[in-house]
A and B are shown apart, each in its own frame.
Chain A
Amino acid sequence: MIEPAAYMPGPEMNRLQWRALWIGVAVLGVCILGAFRSPAQFFHSYLLAFLFWTGMALGCLAIAMLHHLTGGSWGMVIRRLLESGSRTLPLMALLFVPLFFGRHWIYSWTRPMNLPRQQLEYLDVRFFLTRAVLYFVVWLALAHWLGKWSHEQDRTGDRRLLRKMQWLSGPGLVLYGLTGTFAAVDWMMSLEPRWYSSIFGLLIIGGQVLSAMAFVIVVLVLLTAYQPLGRVLQPRHMHNLGKLLLAFVMVWAYLSFSQLLIMWSGNLPEEIPWYLHRLEGGWRWVGVLLILFHFALPFFLLLSRDLKRTGPKLALLAMLVVVMRMVDLFWLTAPEFSPGRFHIHWMDIAAPVGMGGVWLAVFAWHLKTRPLLPVGDPYLAVVLEGEHE
Chain B
Amino acid sequence: MLMGRTKPPIYGLLAEFDTPARLVAAAERARKEGYRCMDAYAPYPVEGLAEALKFHHTRVPLITLIGGIVGGLAGYFMQYWIAAINYPLNIGGRPLHSWPAFIPVTFELTILGAALSAVLGMLGLNGLPMPYHPVFHVPRFALASRDRFFLCVEATDPKFDRQTTQRFLESLDSRGVFEVPH
Interface presence of A127 (CB below 8 A)? no
Q: Is the CB of B48 within 8 A of A387?
A: yes
**Option from B20, B48, B103 in Cβ contact (under 8 Å) with A261:** B103
Residues of B within 8 A of A387 (CB): 24, 47-48, 51
Say if the beta carbon of A386 comes within 8 Å of chain B.
yes
Judge whether B61 is part of the interface by a CB distance below 8 angstroms. yes
Residue A389 at the chain B interface, CB threshold 8 Å: yes
Indicate whether A37 reaches chain B with its CB closer than 8 angstroms.
Answer: no
Determine whether B10 belongs to the interface, using a CB cutoff of 8 Å to chain A.
no
Q: With A388-B20, A388-B46 as known contacts, state yes or no: A267 contacts B100, CB within 8 Å.
A: no
B112 at the interface (CB under 8 A from A): no
Interface size on B, residues (CB 8 A): 15
A305 — which chain B residues lie within 8 A by C-beta?
61
* Chain B interface SS verdict (over half): helix
Task: Indicate if A70 sits at the interface (CB-CB under 8 A).
Answer: no
- On whether the beta carbons of A388 and B100 are closer than 8 Å, the reply is no
A386 touches B103 (CB 8 A): no
Residue from B20, B46, B48, B100 within 8 A of A386 (CB atoms): B48
Cα distance A93–B61 in the bound complex, in angstroms: 46
The closest CB in chain A to the CB of B23 belongs to A388
The size bracket of the interface on A is 10 to 19
Pair A261/B101 contact, Cβ less than 8 Å? yes
Q: Mark A233-272, 1 if CB is under 8 A from B, else 0.
A: 0000000000000000000000001001100110100000
A260: chain B residues within 8 A (beta carbon) = 100
Q: Are B20 and A257 in contact (CB under 8 A)?
A: no
A257 contacts across to B, CB distance below 8 A: 100, 103
- Nearest CB of A to B85, in Å: 22
Within 8 A of B (CB), among A302-327: 303, 305
Residue of A with least CB distance to B48: A387
Residue B143 CB within 8 A of the other chain = no
Bound-state CA distance A305–B59 (Å) is: 13
A261 and B104 in contact, given A305-B61, A389-B21 (Cβ under 8 angstroms):
yes
Q: Is the CB of B104 within 8 A of A388?
A: no
Which of B24, B65, B92, B103 contacts A388 (CB under 8 A)?
Answer: B24
Smallest distance from the beta carbon of A383 to chain B beta carbons, Å?
13
Residues of chain A within 8 A of B104, CB atoms compared: 261
The minimal Cβ–Cβ distance linking B41 to chain A, given in whole angstroms, is 16
**How distant is the Cα of A389 from the Cα of B24 in the complex, in angstroms?**
11
Q: Is the CB of A261 within 8 A of B100?
A: yes
20 contacts between A and B (CB under 8 A): A257-B100, A257-B103, A260-B100, A261-B100, A261-B101, A261-B103, A261-B104, A264-B100, A265-B101, A303-B65, A387-B24, A387-B47, A387-B48, A387-B51, A388-B20, A388-B21, A388-B24, A388-B47, A388-B48, A388-B49
